[in-house]
Structure 1
Amino acid sequence: MAARETAYAKINLALHVRSRREDGYHALETLFAFVDQGDTLSASPAPADTLRTTGEFGQEAGDPFANLVTRALGKLPRPGGLSILLEKTLPVAAGLGGGSADAGAVFRIVRDLHGLPDDWRDRAASLGADVPACVESVTCIGRGTGTELEPVASDLADTPVLLVNPRLPLSTGPVFAAWDGADRGPLPTGSVREIALAGRNDLEAPAIGLQPEIAQVLDALRETDPWLARMSGSGATCFALYSSTDALDRAAARLARDRPGWWQLQGRLRP
């Protein structure tokens, strides 16, 4: 039986870095949200697991044996293999959890076809801190390294969102390494909207230090009258939230005209 899943783009409505941990990771508090657009994975039964990539960013997805799709398949016991076609429309190393979202989609495909083992959350976390959140792809709060998840009811479902990336890859490691180590306080409390508005992204400044064009993206987004514009994750993608679809359409058209070289994606926030 064939299966098809969208690997929903992940954004961090807020990302507070609290401390460096002894194990080398960072203690985080983040508000995850997901856009209703992303990569597409099509799967069909096969004698062995295989992966083929297409799409605008397909060539940037890397060695199939290192790709998170292949690694996710290796974490999940099941009868027989799966042949997966990955249409890669999200940029790589972009702060959108693209690889993690792809892995999350694999977990959902296997769940629907065969079911998941009871310890699937641990298996997902072993692939990356964002993967457990990406399996469910719903708004939630992440703590610890981002794997300790707390579900929240979102008052931002269906909010129009614009994602913009200056087509500059930015690896997570150097951004965290450039963080100044200052604890600027915990994630706010309240509704999802209130947390997003009162929150911040502590990786924004170090990311801009490494890729100054991120600041230009944020400035351009803020000129389109969103009610919130912020960098996602460790960058370089930034997002803007709008009060109406018309406002989103105007913003997207303006940036397409003024910055034709930038990548953009329009969508709505999932619940």
Structure 2
Amino acid sequence: MQYKGVLRKMQTEIGRPIQYYMVFETDFLNVNQILDKELEINFIKHQCLSCGQDRPIFRQGFCKTCFYEIPAAGDWIMRPELSTAHLDQEDRDLEYEKKVQLQPHIVYLANSSTIKVGVTRKTQVPTRWIDQGAHEAIEIVEVPNRYLAGITEVALKDHVGDKTNWRKMLTNEVVDEDLVTWRNKLKPYIPAEAQEYFIASNSETHLDFPVLQYPSKVRSLNLDKTPNYRGRLKGIKGQYLIFEDNTVFNVRGSEGYYVSLSIH
């Protein structure tokens, strides 16, 4: 069985375990169904997710030209505190920025390797937590725009981390935490503008990933260096495929790579 197309972030469906899908132009693959089977990945070419041309991928699935021009790759994507649509100020495309920035956003705590604070649109819960490989998470603030979420995240970063240690996440070196206690402990540090949006009465969400075997150490697959790879799929966590030989493949980190996938 063979699939061919440009890699994009795997789509997910909440469940026990979470269901993963690789979606191509004319087909899709439920990745859970190929656990414990041999998967062969062959890199064919680059295909920028914006212009569609065969140019080296720079970041986020885009070629360098598109990355610095399109509104979907503005600095406010990675740094929400730089959002300006609420002020009616344009970065690259005000209409696009209003559509994305001026909607409910969640500031959350997630535990994937250690506790981290993060921001996502409300519509992306729990997808964002799944993508980060968090086994537990909780919303702490729901605000009406991305800017307020961003300044809240910046304030809380002084008291809790904001990065995921992907190696610890993939080897499952994680410790359960009481996120309700953490939420309440962090409340005093939420900026005054966002205090009224604090969520005081929710509970943790627990996530169950489809993993048969965690790697003892991780070796990352880079398609530019290793364009052809074959291994037995043992798990899916975050946006990573985990193979029996300790190789891990970041599907989201390889967006814009056109590949063929063969299942043996």
Q: Please, what TM-score do these two structures have when normalized by structure 2?
A: 0.26
Which has the larger Rg? Answer: 2
